[in-house]
Amino acid sequence: MCGHDVRRSGIWPTDSARLEAFIQQHGGTVEASPIGNVGVMLRWCAELGNGVVVTGQTTQDAIVKLRESVERTNV
């Protein structure tokens, strides 16, 4: 794919480990989706139905934003 940075494709093993740690700490589920070829969206759904959606240029960037958002709002 022309103009696509293959380093951003998918979730790397280190990203999976970070997401697993997040889920162990906060519960619920996390869904990851690409945003075209420019970023990643993470959607976390808590066990009680609350949720948070964040975006980032990379999965790692989105994980940092997700953790900060959840900790800031105490969802």
Residues of the chain falling short of pLDDT 70: 1-10, 75
**Beta-bridge partner residues of 60:** none
What pLDDT is attached to residue 35? 87
- Helices (H) and strands (E) counted in the chain, each on its own, are 2, 3
Domain positions in the chain are 6-73
Residue among 1, 20, 17, 19 at smallest CA distance from 9: 1
What pLDDT is attached to residue 38? 80
What pLDDT is attached to residue 12? 81
6-73 topology per CATH: Double Stranded RNA Binding Domain (3.30.160)
What pLDDT is attached to residue 75? 60
CB 18 within 8 Å of CB 63: yes
